[in-house]
Structure 1
Amino acid sequence: MKKIIILGGPTASGKSKLALNIAKELDGEIINGDSMQVYKYFPILTCQPKYDDLKLVPHHLYGFVNTIKNYNAVKWLKDANKKINEVLIKDKVPIIVGGSGLYLEFMTRGISSTPKISDNIKEKANLFLLNTSKSKLLNFIMEIDKEYALKINIADKFRVLKLLEVYFETNKNISYFHNKRKKNNNFGFFKVLIKPSKDEVKKNIRRRVIEMLKEGLVQEIIDNRDKVKNCNIEKAIGFREIKSYLEQKLLFEEAIDLTIKNTKSFAKRQYTWFENRFEENLIISNTKTSLVVETFLKII
Protein backbone atom coordinates (compact mmCIF):
# COMPACT_ATOMS: atom_id res chain seq x y z
CA MET A 1 0.00 0.00 0.00
CA LYS A 2 1.36 3.41 -0.97
CA LYS A 3 1.33 5.75 1.99
CA ILE A 4 -0.16 9.20 1.74
CA ILE A 5 2.19 11.86 3.05
CA ILE A 6 0.69 14.55 5.26
CA LEU A 7 2.67 17.68 6.07
CA GLY A 8 1.05 19.61 8.91
CA GLY A 9 2.12 22.48 11.10
CA PRO A 10 1.54 26.13 11.98
CA THR A 11 1.27 28.90 9.45
CA ALA A 12 4.55 30.28 8.06
CA SER A 13 6.47 27.15 9.06
CA GLY A 14 7.70 26.22 5.57
CA LYS A 15 5.20 23.46 4.76
CA SER A 16 4.51 24.46 1.17
CA LYS A 17 8.15 24.74 0.13
CA LEU A 18 9.00 21.39 1.71
CA ALA A 19 5.96 19.78 0.05
CA LEU A 20 7.15 21.07 -3.31
CA ASN A 21 10.66 19.66 -2.83
CA ILE A 22 9.35 16.28 -1.67
CA ALA A 23 6.86 16.13 -4.54
CA LYS A 24 9.64 16.70 -7.07
CA GLU A 25 11.75 13.92 -5.56
CA LEU A 26 8.93 11.39 -5.18
CA ASP A 27 6.97 12.21 -8.34
CA GLY A 28 4.14 13.37 -6.12
CA GLU A 29 1.14 15.66 -6.42
CA ILE A 30 0.13 18.19 -3.78
CA ILE A 31 -3.36 18.31 -2.28
CA ASN A 32 -4.42 21.34 -0.27
CA GLY A 33 -5.33 20.77 3.39
CA ASP A 34 -5.93 24.40 4.32
CA SER A 35 -9.47 25.65 4.93
CA MET A 36 -8.87 29.12 3.46
CA GLN A 37 -6.81 28.23 0.41
CA VAL A 38 -9.81 26.45 -1.14
CA TYR A 39 -11.46 29.79 -1.97
CA LYS A 40 -11.34 31.74 -5.23
CA TYR A 41 -10.27 35.36 -5.69
CA PHE A 42 -7.86 35.63 -2.73
CA PRO A 43 -4.58 33.85 -3.59
CA ILE A 44 -2.46 36.53 -1.89
CA LEU A 45 -4.58 36.73 1.27
CA THR A 46 -4.56 32.95 1.71
CA CYS A 47 -0.96 32.40 0.54
CA GLN A 48 -1.84 30.01 -2.27
CA PRO A 49 1.01 28.50 -4.33
CA LYS A 50 2.64 30.81 -6.87
CA TYR A 51 2.27 30.28 -10.62
CA ASP A 52 5.86 29.03 -10.98
CA ASP A 53 5.27 26.38 -8.30
CA LEU A 54 2.04 25.27 -9.95
CA LYS A 55 4.01 24.65 -13.16
CA LEU A 56 6.57 22.46 -11.38
CA VAL A 57 4.19 20.05 -9.63
CA PRO A 58 0.43 19.37 -9.97
CA HIS A 59 -1.58 21.04 -7.19
CA HIS A 60 -5.19 20.23 -6.27
CA LEU A 61 -8.05 21.85 -4.31
CA TYR A 62 -6.65 25.38 -4.40
CA GLY A 63 -8.82 28.37 -5.29
CA PHE A 64 -11.82 26.42 -6.56
CA VAL A 65 -14.67 27.29 -4.14
CA ASN A 66 -16.86 30.32 -4.79
CA THR A 67 -16.98 32.91 -2.00
CA ILE A 68 -20.77 33.10 -1.89
CA LYS A 69 -20.99 29.71 -0.18
CA ASN A 70 -19.27 28.01 2.70
CA TYR A 71 -17.06 24.97 2.52
CA ASN A 72 -16.31 22.65 5.42
CA ALA A 73 -14.21 19.70 6.53
CA VAL A 74 -16.79 17.11 5.47
CA LYS A 75 -16.95 18.51 1.92
CA TRP A 76 -13.18 18.74 1.81
CA LEU A 77 -12.78 15.11 2.88
CA LYS A 78 -14.98 13.97 0.02
CA ASP A 79 -13.05 16.08 -2.50
CA ALA A 80 -9.66 15.12 -1.07
CA ASN A 81 -10.45 11.40 -1.15
CA LYS A 82 -11.40 11.73 -4.81
CA LYS A 83 -8.13 13.51 -5.61
CA ILE A 84 -6.08 10.97 -3.65
CA ASN A 85 -7.55 8.12 -5.65
CA GLU A 86 -6.91 9.97 -8.91
CA VAL A 87 -3.26 10.51 -7.93
CA LEU A 88 -2.82 6.89 -6.83
CA ILE A 89 -4.28 5.60 -10.11
CA LYS A 90 -1.49 7.50 -11.89
CA ASP A 91 0.99 5.68 -9.63
CA LYS A 92 2.05 8.96 -8.03
CA VAL A 93 2.37 9.98 -4.38
CA PRO A 94 -0.38 12.14 -2.82
CA ILE A 95 1.05 14.81 -0.51
CA ILE A 96 -1.48 16.65 1.64
CA VAL A 97 -0.19 19.93 3.04
CA GLY A 98 -1.96 22.34 5.37
CA GLY A 99 -2.50 23.72 8.82
CA SER A 100 -6.23 23.07 9.26
CA GLY A 101 -6.23 20.50 12.03
CA LEU A 102 -9.84 19.39 11.63
CA TYR A 103 -9.31 18.64 7.93
CA LEU A 104 -6.25 16.52 8.66
CA GLU A 105 -7.96 14.77 11.57
CA PHE A 106 -10.96 13.82 9.45
CA MET A 107 -8.61 12.45 6.80
CA THR A 108 -6.52 10.31 9.17
CA ARG A 109 -9.05 9.36 11.85
CA GLY A 110 -12.44 9.73 10.22
CA ILE A 111 -15.39 12.01 10.88
CA SER A 112 -16.28 12.51 14.52
CA SER A 113 -19.91 12.10 15.50
CA THR A 114 -19.88 14.48 18.47
CA PRO A 115 -23.35 15.98 19.08
CA LYS A 116 -24.50 19.54 18.61
CA ILE A 117 -24.15 21.53 21.83
CA SER A 118 -26.93 23.88 22.95
CA ASP A 119 -26.13 27.46 23.98
CA ASN A 120 -27.12 26.96 27.62
CA ILE A 121 -24.80 23.94 27.90
CA LYS A 122 -21.94 25.95 26.36
CA GLU A 123 -22.49 28.60 29.01
CA LYS A 124 -22.68 25.98 31.77
CA ALA A 125 -19.43 24.34 30.63
CA ASN A 126 -17.64 27.68 30.37
CA LEU A 127 -18.73 28.73 33.87
CA PHE A 128 -17.65 25.35 35.26
CA LEU A 129 -14.23 25.78 33.67
CA LEU A 130 -13.84 29.32 35.00
CA ASN A 131 -14.92 28.46 38.55
CA THR A 132 -13.10 25.16 39.06
CA SER A 133 -9.52 24.88 40.28
CA LYS A 134 -7.02 23.06 38.08
CA SER A 135 -6.68 20.14 40.51
CA LYS A 136 -10.46 19.68 40.87
CA LEU A 137 -10.90 20.00 37.12
CA LEU A 138 -8.31 17.30 36.49
CA ASN A 139 -9.98 14.97 39.00
CA PHE A 140 -13.36 15.58 37.39
CA ILE A 141 -12.30 14.88 33.82
CA MET A 142 -10.33 11.81 34.95
CA GLU A 143 -13.51 10.55 36.58
CA ILE A 144 -15.79 11.10 33.59
CA ASP A 145 -13.35 10.26 30.78
CA LYS A 146 -9.98 8.85 31.81
CA GLU A 147 -9.15 7.76 28.25
CA TYR A 148 -9.49 11.29 26.89
CA ALA A 149 -8.00 12.97 29.96
CA LEU A 150 -4.74 11.06 29.52
CA LYS A 151 -4.44 12.33 25.93
CA ILE A 152 -4.84 16.04 26.57
CA ASN A 153 -3.06 18.86 28.33
CA ILE A 154 -5.17 20.30 31.14
CA ALA A 155 -4.08 23.75 29.90
CA ASP A 156 -5.68 23.11 26.51
CA LYS A 157 -8.84 25.10 27.17
CA PHE A 158 -10.47 24.20 23.84
CA ARG A 159 -10.27 20.45 24.39
CA VAL A 160 -11.25 20.59 28.06
CA LEU A 161 -14.23 22.78 27.22
CA LYS A 162 -15.29 20.40 24.45
CA LEU A 163 -15.11 17.46 26.86
CA LEU A 164 -17.29 19.30 29.40
CA GLU A 165 -19.82 20.40 26.78
CA VAL A 166 -20.30 16.89 25.41
CA TYR A 167 -20.63 15.38 28.88
CA PHE A 168 -23.10 18.01 30.13
CA GLU A 169 -25.15 17.74 26.92
CA THR A 170 -25.35 13.93 26.64
CA ASN A 171 -24.18 12.47 29.96
CA LYS A 172 -21.70 10.48 27.87
CA ASN A 173 -17.99 11.14 27.60
CA ILE A 174 -16.31 12.38 24.45
CA SER A 175 -14.35 9.14 24.02
CA TYR A 176 -17.64 7.34 23.45
CA PHE A 177 -18.28 9.50 20.39
CA HIS A 178 -14.68 9.46 19.17
CA ASN A 179 -14.68 5.67 19.24
CA LYS A 180 -17.72 5.74 16.96
CA ARG A 181 -15.87 7.69 14.26
CA LYS A 182 -16.62 6.69 10.71
CA LYS A 183 -13.25 5.54 9.38
CA ASN A 184 -11.99 7.24 6.24
CA ASN A 185 -11.19 4.56 3.62
CA ASN A 186 -8.20 2.27 4.08
CA PHE A 187 -5.42 4.72 3.33
CA GLY A 188 -2.07 4.49 5.06
CA PHE A 189 -0.53 7.76 6.24
CA PHE A 190 2.93 9.08 7.00
CA LYS A 191 2.41 12.23 9.07
CA VAL A 192 5.12 14.87 9.26
CA LEU A 193 4.91 17.76 11.71
CA ILE A 194 6.74 20.88 10.54
CA LYS A 195 7.74 22.51 13.80
CA PRO A 196 10.32 25.30 13.66
CA SER A 197 10.93 27.41 16.74
CA LYS A 198 8.18 29.83 17.69
CA ASP A 199 10.61 32.73 17.27
CA GLU A 200 11.35 31.60 13.72
CA VAL A 201 7.65 31.41 12.89
CA LYS A 202 7.08 34.89 14.32
CA LYS A 203 9.83 36.28 12.07
CA ASN A 204 8.39 34.42 9.10
CA ILE A 205 4.92 35.83 9.79
CA ARG A 206 6.15 39.43 9.78
CA ARG A 207 8.17 38.77 6.62
CA ARG A 208 5.20 37.10 4.94
CA VAL A 209 2.74 39.90 5.70
CA ILE A 210 5.16 42.47 4.26
CA GLU A 211 5.59 40.31 1.15
CA MET A 212 1.81 39.96 0.79
CA LEU A 213 1.49 43.75 0.82
CA LYS A 214 4.13 44.06 -1.90
CA GLU A 215 2.27 41.47 -3.99
CA GLY A 216 -0.94 43.52 -3.85
CA LEU A 217 -2.95 42.30 -0.85
CA VAL A 218 -4.83 45.57 -0.39
CA GLN A 219 -5.82 45.78 -4.06
CA GLU A 220 -6.90 42.13 -4.03
CA ILE A 221 -9.32 42.84 -1.19
CA ILE A 222 -10.57 46.04 -2.87
CA ASP A 223 -11.23 44.16 -6.11
CA ASN A 224 -12.94 41.13 -4.57
CA ARG A 225 -14.58 42.05 -1.26
CA ASP A 226 -17.98 42.50 -2.93
CA LYS A 227 -17.80 38.88 -4.13
CA VAL A 228 -17.90 37.65 -0.52
CA LYS A 229 -21.28 36.92 1.07
CA ASN A 230 -21.44 35.23 4.50
CA CYS A 231 -18.43 33.08 3.64
CA ASN A 232 -15.67 31.68 5.84
CA ILE A 233 -13.09 33.59 3.80
CA GLU A 234 -14.07 36.61 5.90
CA LYS A 235 -12.36 34.84 8.80
CA ALA A 236 -9.05 34.72 6.95
CA ILE A 237 -6.58 36.82 8.91
CA GLY A 238 -5.96 40.04 7.04
CA PHE A 239 -9.40 40.30 5.44
CA ARG A 240 -11.19 42.10 8.25
CA GLU A 241 -8.10 44.07 9.23
CA ILE A 242 -7.57 45.47 5.72
CA LYS A 243 -11.31 45.96 5.26
CA SER A 244 -11.35 48.04 8.46
CA TYR A 245 -8.55 50.17 7.02
CA LEU A 246 -10.49 50.63 3.76
CA GLU A 247 -13.55 51.68 5.78
CA GLN A 248 -11.35 54.18 7.67
CA LYS A 249 -11.84 52.39 10.98
CA LEU A 250 -8.11 51.72 11.31
CA LEU A 251 -4.97 53.46 10.14
CA PHE A 252 -2.94 51.49 7.61
CA GLU A 253 -0.15 50.79 10.11
CA GLU A 254 -2.71 49.65 12.69
CA ALA A 255 -4.28 47.23 10.21
CA ILE A 256 -0.91 45.72 9.34
CA ASP A 257 0.20 45.44 12.97
CA LEU A 258 -3.12 43.80 13.84
CA THR A 259 -2.76 41.35 10.95
CA ILE A 260 0.68 40.34 12.19
CA LYS A 261 -0.50 40.09 15.80
CA ASN A 262 -3.56 37.99 14.93
CA THR A 263 -1.51 35.69 12.71
CA LYS A 264 0.95 35.09 15.56
CA SER A 265 -1.95 34.25 17.89
CA PHE A 266 -3.35 31.85 15.31
CA ALA A 267 0.04 30.15 14.92
CA LYS A 268 0.21 29.73 18.70
CA ARG A 269 -3.14 27.93 18.70
CA GLN A 270 -1.95 25.74 15.83
CA TYR A 271 1.17 24.77 17.80
CA THR A 272 -1.05 23.62 20.67
CA TRP A 273 -3.34 21.62 18.39
CA PHE A 274 -0.57 19.84 16.52
CA GLU A 275 1.39 19.07 19.70
CA ASN A 276 -1.66 17.47 21.31
CA ARG A 277 -3.55 15.84 18.47
CA PHE A 278 -1.52 15.22 15.31
CA GLU A 279 0.30 12.03 16.38
CA GLU A 280 3.08 12.52 13.84
CA ASN A 281 5.55 9.93 12.52
CA LEU A 282 8.30 12.52 12.08
CA ILE A 283 9.07 16.03 13.32
CA ILE A 284 11.05 18.44 11.14
CA SER A 285 12.22 21.58 12.89
CA ASN A 286 14.29 23.15 10.11
CA THR A 287 13.02 23.04 6.54
CA LYS A 288 15.82 25.26 5.22
CA THR A 289 18.68 22.77 5.29
CA SER A 290 19.55 20.83 2.14
CA LEU A 291 19.61 17.61 4.16
CA VAL A 292 15.92 17.71 5.12
CA VAL A 293 14.51 16.16 1.95
CA GLU A 294 17.34 13.62 1.77
CA THR A 295 16.74 12.58 5.39
CA PHE A 296 12.98 12.44 4.83
CA LEU A 297 13.35 10.20 1.77
CA LYS A 298 15.50 7.74 3.73
CA ILE A 299 12.87 7.48 6.48
CA ILE A 300 9.83 7.20 4.23
Structure 2
Amino acid sequence: MNRPAIVIAGPTASGKSGLALAIARAFNGTVINADSMQVYDVLRVVTARPSQAEEAQAPHRLYGVLSPSVNCSAAAWKDMAAAAMAESWAQGRLPVVVGGTGLYLRTLMHGISPVPAIPDEIRTQARALLAERGNAAFHALLAARDPVMAARLDPANSQRLARAWEVIEASGQSLAAWQALPMEGAVDAHWLTLSLAPPREALYANCDQRFALMMEHGALDEVRALLALGLDPALPAMKALGVPELAALLAGTLEPKQAVSAAQKATRNYAKRQLTWFRHQLEKPEVVSAQLSERIFDEIFAKVRHFLLTRFQ
Protein backbone atom coordinates (compact mmCIF):
# COMPACT_ATOMS: atom_id res chain seq x y z
CA MET A 1 0.00 0.00 0.00
CA ASN A 2 3.00 2.32 0.18
CA ARG A 3 3.46 2.38 -3.58
CA PRO A 4 2.12 5.82 -4.57
CA ALA A 5 -0.17 6.48 -7.52
CA ILE A 6 -2.21 9.46 -8.61
CA VAL A 7 -5.60 9.35 -10.30
CA ILE A 8 -6.86 12.40 -12.18
CA ALA A 9 -10.56 12.08 -12.97
CA GLY A 10 -13.04 14.49 -14.44
CA PRO A 11 -15.26 15.30 -17.38
CA THR A 12 -14.17 15.76 -20.95
CA ALA A 13 -12.57 19.13 -21.76
CA SER A 14 -11.75 19.82 -18.09
CA GLY A 15 -7.98 19.90 -18.58
CA LYS A 16 -7.12 16.44 -17.21
CA SER A 17 -4.45 15.61 -19.76
CA GLY A 18 -2.62 18.90 -19.30
CA LEU A 19 -2.63 18.49 -15.53
CA ALA A 20 -1.41 14.88 -15.79
CA LEU A 21 1.48 15.94 -18.01
CA ALA A 22 2.40 18.78 -15.66
CA ILE A 23 2.44 16.44 -12.66
CA ALA A 24 4.41 13.81 -14.56
CA ARG A 25 7.04 16.38 -15.54
CA ALA A 26 7.29 17.82 -12.03
CA PHE A 27 7.33 14.52 -10.12
CA ASN A 28 9.09 12.05 -12.47
CA GLY A 29 5.82 10.43 -13.49
CA THR A 30 4.39 8.20 -16.19
CA VAL A 31 1.04 9.23 -17.65
CA ILE A 32 -1.31 6.23 -17.96
CA ASN A 33 -4.46 6.59 -20.02
CA ALA A 34 -7.87 5.78 -18.48
CA ASP A 35 -10.03 7.00 -21.35
CA SER A 36 -11.90 4.21 -23.10
CA MET A 37 -11.67 5.91 -26.51
CA GLN A 38 -8.04 7.00 -26.34
CA VAL A 39 -6.87 3.39 -26.12
CA TYR A 40 -7.60 3.01 -29.84
CA ASP A 41 -5.04 3.75 -32.56
CA VAL A 42 -7.48 5.94 -34.49
CA LEU A 43 -9.17 9.30 -33.89
CA ARG A 44 -6.29 11.10 -32.17
CA VAL A 45 -7.95 14.46 -32.84
CA VAL A 46 -11.57 13.41 -32.22
CA THR A 47 -10.78 11.74 -28.89
CA ALA A 48 -8.42 14.56 -27.78
CA ARG A 49 -5.44 12.25 -27.29
CA PRO A 50 -2.22 13.98 -26.27
CA SER A 51 -0.20 15.17 -29.22
CA GLN A 52 3.09 13.58 -30.19
CA ALA A 53 4.88 16.65 -28.83
CA GLU A 54 3.11 16.23 -25.48
CA GLU A 55 3.85 12.51 -25.36
CA ALA A 56 7.54 13.31 -25.87
CA GLN A 57 7.66 15.36 -22.65
CA ALA A 58 7.01 12.39 -20.32
CA PRO A 59 6.39 8.65 -20.70
CA HIS A 60 2.81 7.91 -21.82
CA ARG A 61 1.19 4.49 -21.70
CA LEU A 62 -2.02 2.93 -23.11
CA TYR A 63 -2.62 5.61 -25.73
CA GLY A 64 -3.40 4.27 -29.20
CA VAL A 65 -2.51 0.69 -28.28
CA LEU A 66 -5.56 -1.18 -29.62
CA SER A 67 -7.22 -1.62 -32.98
CA PRO A 68 -10.72 -0.10 -33.22
CA SER A 69 -11.94 -3.61 -34.07
CA VAL A 70 -11.41 -4.55 -30.39
CA ASN A 71 -14.07 -4.14 -27.71
CA CYS A 72 -11.90 -3.23 -24.72
CA SER A 73 -13.50 -4.21 -21.41
CA ALA A 74 -12.82 -2.59 -18.05
CA ALA A 75 -11.15 -5.79 -16.86
CA ALA A 76 -8.85 -5.93 -19.89
CA TRP A 77 -7.92 -2.29 -19.50
CA LYS A 78 -7.24 -2.79 -15.78
CA ASP A 79 -4.77 -5.57 -16.55
CA MET A 80 -2.92 -3.32 -19.00
CA ALA A 81 -2.95 -0.43 -16.53
CA ALA A 82 -1.66 -2.64 -13.72
CA ALA A 83 1.25 -3.68 -15.93
CA ALA A 84 1.97 -0.07 -16.83
CA MET A 85 1.92 0.92 -13.16
CA ALA A 86 4.27 -1.94 -12.25
CA GLU A 87 6.65 -0.80 -14.99
CA SER A 88 6.49 2.76 -13.68
CA TRP A 89 7.24 1.74 -10.09
CA ALA A 90 10.10 -0.50 -11.25
CA GLN A 91 11.63 2.53 -12.98
CA GLY A 92 11.24 4.66 -9.87
CA ARG A 93 8.51 6.72 -11.50
CA LEU A 94 5.13 7.91 -10.21
CA PRO A 95 2.09 6.45 -12.03
CA VAL A 96 -0.32 9.25 -13.02
CA VAL A 97 -3.55 7.62 -14.20
CA VAL A 98 -5.78 10.05 -16.06
CA GLY A 99 -9.13 9.73 -17.77
CA GLY A 100 -12.84 10.21 -17.71
CA THR A 101 -13.98 6.58 -17.92
CA GLY A 102 -15.30 6.05 -14.42
CA LEU A 103 -15.72 2.29 -14.72
CA TYR A 104 -12.05 1.93 -15.65
CA LEU A 105 -10.94 3.93 -12.63
CA ARG A 106 -13.27 2.13 -10.24
CA THR A 107 -12.06 -1.25 -11.52
CA LEU A 108 -8.43 -0.22 -11.08
CA MET A 109 -8.87 1.06 -7.53
CA HIS A 110 -11.57 -1.24 -6.16
CA GLY A 111 -11.69 -4.30 -8.42
CA ILE A 112 -14.54 -5.75 -10.46
CA SER A 113 -17.16 -8.44 -10.08
CA PRO A 114 -15.76 -11.84 -11.17
CA VAL A 115 -17.94 -12.20 -14.27
CA PRO A 116 -16.56 -14.94 -16.55
CA ALA A 117 -15.15 -13.96 -19.92
CA ILE A 118 -17.82 -13.86 -22.62
CA PRO A 119 -17.07 -15.81 -25.82
CA ASP A 120 -16.99 -13.60 -28.91
CA GLU A 121 -19.74 -15.58 -30.61
CA ILE A 122 -22.15 -15.02 -27.72
CA ARG A 123 -21.35 -11.31 -27.62
CA THR A 124 -21.95 -11.08 -31.37
CA GLN A 125 -25.23 -13.00 -31.13
CA ALA A 126 -26.49 -10.75 -28.34
CA ARG A 127 -25.86 -7.59 -30.31
CA ALA A 128 -27.33 -9.07 -33.47
CA LEU A 129 -30.50 -10.02 -31.61
CA LEU A 130 -30.72 -6.54 -30.12
CA ALA A 131 -30.33 -4.95 -33.55
CA GLU A 132 -32.97 -7.28 -35.01
CA ARG A 133 -35.60 -6.87 -32.30
CA GLY A 134 -35.00 -3.30 -31.20
CA ASN A 135 -34.52 -2.06 -27.64
CA ALA A 136 -38.09 -2.36 -26.37
CA ALA A 137 -38.62 -5.92 -27.60
CA PHE A 138 -35.14 -6.96 -26.49
CA HIS A 139 -35.80 -5.54 -23.03
CA ALA A 140 -38.97 -7.64 -22.87
CA LEU A 141 -36.97 -10.76 -23.80
CA LEU A 142 -34.46 -9.96 -21.08
CA ALA A 143 -37.25 -9.41 -18.56
CA ALA A 144 -38.58 -12.89 -19.26
CA ARG A 145 -35.16 -14.43 -18.74
CA ASP A 146 -33.56 -12.14 -16.16
CA PRO A 147 -36.23 -10.00 -14.48
CA VAL A 148 -33.83 -8.65 -11.85
CA MET A 149 -31.44 -7.08 -14.34
CA ALA A 150 -34.23 -5.98 -16.66
CA ALA A 151 -35.82 -4.07 -13.81
CA ARG A 152 -32.53 -2.23 -13.22
CA LEU A 153 -31.90 -1.24 -16.82
CA ASP A 154 -33.14 1.61 -18.97
CA PRO A 155 -34.53 0.06 -22.18
CA ALA A 156 -32.74 2.78 -24.13
CA ASN A 157 -29.32 1.69 -22.88
CA SER A 158 -28.31 -0.75 -25.61
CA GLN A 159 -24.87 -1.52 -24.23
CA ARG A 160 -26.07 -2.52 -20.78
CA LEU A 161 -28.99 -4.54 -22.18
CA ALA A 162 -26.64 -6.54 -24.39
CA ARG A 163 -24.23 -7.00 -21.50
CA ALA A 164 -26.94 -8.42 -19.22
CA TRP A 165 -28.09 -10.81 -21.96
CA GLU A 166 -24.63 -12.09 -22.86
CA VAL A 167 -23.73 -12.75 -19.22
CA ILE A 168 -26.76 -14.91 -18.51
CA GLU A 169 -26.37 -16.60 -21.89
CA ALA A 170 -22.71 -17.45 -21.27
CA SER A 171 -22.78 -18.25 -17.55
CA GLY A 172 -26.35 -19.28 -16.82
CA GLN A 173 -26.46 -16.73 -13.99
CA SER A 174 -27.80 -13.21 -13.83
CA LEU A 175 -25.31 -10.37 -13.96
CA ALA A 176 -26.93 -9.27 -10.69
CA ALA A 177 -25.71 -12.47 -9.02
CA TRP A 178 -22.15 -11.88 -10.22
CA GLN A 179 -22.27 -8.24 -9.11
CA ALA A 180 -23.28 -9.33 -5.61
CA LEU A 181 -19.99 -11.19 -5.18
CA PRO A 182 -16.91 -9.49 -3.69
CA MET A 183 -14.86 -7.37 -6.08
CA GLU A 184 -11.59 -8.80 -7.33
CA GLY A 185 -8.38 -7.56 -8.91
CA ALA A 186 -7.87 -4.08 -7.47
CA VAL A 187 -4.34 -2.71 -7.80
CA ASP A 188 -2.62 -2.45 -4.43
CA ALA A 189 -1.45 1.16 -4.15
CA HIS A 190 -1.59 4.28 -2.02
CA TRP A 191 -3.89 6.55 -4.03
CA LEU A 192 -4.23 10.30 -4.33
CA THR A 193 -7.40 11.01 -6.29
CA LEU A 194 -7.88 14.41 -7.89
CA SER A 195 -11.34 15.08 -9.28
CA LEU A 196 -11.71 18.03 -11.63
CA ALA A 197 -15.13 19.70 -11.42
CA PRO A 198 -14.89 23.10 -13.12
CA PRO A 199 -17.89 25.48 -13.27
CA ARG A 200 -20.43 24.08 -15.72
CA GLU A 201 -20.74 27.15 -17.91
CA ALA A 202 -16.97 27.26 -18.41
CA LEU A 203 -16.82 23.51 -18.98
CA TYR A 204 -19.57 23.57 -21.60
CA ALA A 205 -17.86 26.48 -23.36
CA ASN A 206 -14.63 24.46 -23.41
CA CYS A 207 -16.51 21.51 -24.94
CA ASP A 208 -17.87 23.70 -27.73
CA GLN A 209 -14.58 25.45 -28.43
CA ARG A 210 -12.60 22.23 -28.45
CA PHE A 211 -14.87 20.53 -30.96
CA ALA A 212 -14.67 23.55 -33.24
CA LEU A 213 -10.88 23.27 -33.08
CA MET A 214 -11.11 19.56 -33.80
CA MET A 215 -12.94 20.36 -37.02
CA GLU A 216 -10.11 22.69 -38.01
CA HIS A 217 -7.49 20.03 -37.29
CA GLY A 218 -8.78 17.07 -39.29
CA ALA A 219 -11.62 15.51 -37.30
CA LEU A 220 -13.71 14.89 -40.41
CA ASP A 221 -10.83 13.15 -42.18
CA GLU A 222 -10.30 10.92 -39.13
CA VAL A 223 -13.94 9.83 -39.13
CA ARG A 224 -13.84 9.25 -42.89
CA ALA A 225 -10.82 6.96 -42.43
CA LEU A 226 -12.54 5.12 -39.57
CA LEU A 227 -15.68 4.49 -41.62
CA ALA A 228 -13.54 3.17 -44.48
CA LEU A 229 -12.49 0.28 -42.22
CA GLY A 230 -16.02 -1.16 -42.45
CA LEU A 231 -16.24 -1.97 -38.74
CA ASP A 232 -19.26 -3.17 -36.78
CA PRO A 233 -21.23 -0.01 -35.82
CA ALA A 234 -21.69 -1.45 -32.31
CA LEU A 235 -17.96 -1.27 -31.52
CA PRO A 236 -16.97 1.39 -28.97
CA ALA A 237 -14.72 3.35 -31.33
CA MET A 238 -17.65 3.78 -33.73
CA LYS A 239 -19.60 5.54 -30.98
CA ALA A 240 -16.90 7.93 -29.79
CA LEU A 241 -18.07 11.49 -29.18
CA GLY A 242 -18.45 13.22 -32.52
CA VAL A 243 -18.25 10.10 -34.68
CA PRO A 244 -22.01 9.53 -35.23
CA GLU A 245 -22.57 13.19 -36.07
CA LEU A 246 -19.63 13.46 -38.45
CA ALA A 247 -20.59 10.14 -40.02
CA ALA A 248 -24.03 11.65 -40.68
CA LEU A 249 -22.34 14.68 -42.24
CA LEU A 250 -20.30 12.43 -44.53
CA ALA A 251 -23.46 10.50 -45.43
CA GLY A 252 -25.21 13.72 -46.36
CA THR A 253 -27.95 13.45 -43.74
CA LEU A 254 -26.67 16.43 -41.72
CA GLU A 255 -25.37 19.81 -42.86
CA PRO A 256 -21.98 20.91 -41.48
CA LYS A 257 -23.41 23.36 -38.95
CA GLN A 258 -26.00 20.79 -37.83
CA ALA A 259 -23.35 18.11 -37.36
CA VAL A 260 -21.05 20.36 -35.34
CA SER A 261 -23.92 21.62 -33.19
CA ALA A 262 -25.16 18.06 -32.55
CA ALA A 263 -21.66 16.85 -31.66
CA GLN A 264 -21.13 19.77 -29.31
CA LYS A 265 -24.44 19.06 -27.60
CA ALA A 266 -23.58 15.37 -27.22
CA THR A 267 -20.24 16.34 -25.70
CA ARG A 268 -21.85 18.73 -23.22
CA ASN A 269 -24.37 16.07 -22.21
CA TYR A 270 -21.61 13.53 -21.70
CA ALA A 271 -19.62 16.00 -19.58
CA LYS A 272 -22.70 16.55 -17.42
CA ARG A 273 -23.09 12.80 -16.86
CA GLN A 274 -19.41 12.48 -15.99
CA LEU A 275 -19.65 15.26 -13.41
CA THR A 276 -22.56 13.46 -11.77
CA TRP A 277 -20.81 10.08 -11.81
CA PHE A 278 -17.58 11.34 -10.28
CA ARG A 279 -19.43 13.35 -7.65
CA HIS A 280 -21.19 10.22 -6.37
CA GLN A 281 -18.79 7.37 -7.18
CA LEU A 282 -15.25 8.49 -6.35
CA GLU A 283 -14.08 7.66 -2.84
CA LYS A 284 -12.73 10.68 -0.90
CA PRO A 285 -11.28 12.62 -3.81
CA GLU A 286 -9.49 15.95 -3.63
CA VAL A 287 -12.00 18.02 -5.61
CA VAL A 288 -10.67 20.82 -7.82
CA SER A 289 -13.72 22.97 -8.46
CA ALA A 290 -12.07 25.95 -10.12
CA GLN A 291 -10.78 26.23 -13.65
CA LEU A 292 -7.14 25.24 -13.94
CA SER A 293 -4.74 28.15 -13.65
CA GLU A 294 -1.17 28.77 -12.52
CA ARG A 295 -2.42 29.33 -8.97
CA ILE A 296 -4.48 26.13 -9.02
CA PHE A 297 -1.51 24.18 -10.39
CA ASP A 298 0.61 25.43 -7.49
CA GLU A 299 -2.06 24.27 -5.03
CA ILE A 300 -2.30 20.85 -6.67
CA PHE A 301 1.48 20.43 -6.73
CA ALA A 302 1.52 21.18 -2.99
CA LYS A 303 -1.05 18.43 -2.43
CA VAL A 304 1.07 16.00 -4.45
CA ARG A 305 4.21 16.86 -2.48
CA HIS A 306 2.38 16.37 0.80
CA PHE A 307 0.97 13.06 -0.43
CA LEU A 308 4.39 11.76 -1.44
CA LEU A 309 5.98 12.84 1.84
CA THR A 310 3.31 11.37 4.11
CA ARG A 311 2.39 8.10 2.41
CA PHE A 312 4.46 6.05 4.86
CA GLN A 313 2.77 7.49 7.94
TM-score bucket (shorter structure): 0.7 to 0.9
Give 1:5-154 correspondences, 5 Å limit.
5-113=6-114, 119-120=142-143, 121=147, 125=151
- Corresponding residue for 2:279? 275
CA contact (8 A) 1:110 1:184 kept: yes
Aligned counterparts of 2:62 and 2:246: Cα–Cα separation in 1: 26
Aligned counterparts of 2:175 and 2:47: Cα–Cα separation in 1: 36
Give the deviation of 1:179 after TM superposition.
6.0
- Corresponding residue for 1:207? 209
Please state if 1:251 is matched with 2:255: yes
Q: Secondary structure at the match of 1:56?
A: coil
Give 1:231-250 correspondences, 5 Å limit.
231-250=235-254
Q: Secondary structure at the match of 1:5?
A: strand
- Corresponding residue for 2:4? 3
Aligned counterparts of 2:290 and 2:22: Cα–Cα separation in 1: 14
Counterpart code for 2:254: L
Deviations along 1:196-234, whole A, 9 cap, x unmatched? 011111000001001100111011112232225122101
The TM-score normalised by the length of structure 2 is 0.77
Deviations along 1:171-197, whole A, 9 cap, x unmatched? x99799456111413222111101101
Aligned counterparts of 2:297 and 2:54: Cα–Cα separation in 1: 17
CA contact (8 A) 1:68 1:227 kept: no
Closer, same or farther: CA 296–46 of 1 in aligned 2, 3 Å: same
Identity %: 28
Counterpart code for 2:301: L
Aligned counterparts of 2:187 and 2:225: Cα–Cα separation in 1: 41
CA contact (8 A) 1:202 1:264 kept: yes
CA contact (8 A) 1:4 1:189 kept: yes
Give the deviation of 1:238 after TM superposition.
0.7
Structure 1: unaligned runs, 5 residues or longer: 131-157
The TM-score normalised by the length of structure 1 is 0.80
CA contact (8 A) 1:6 1:190 kept: yes
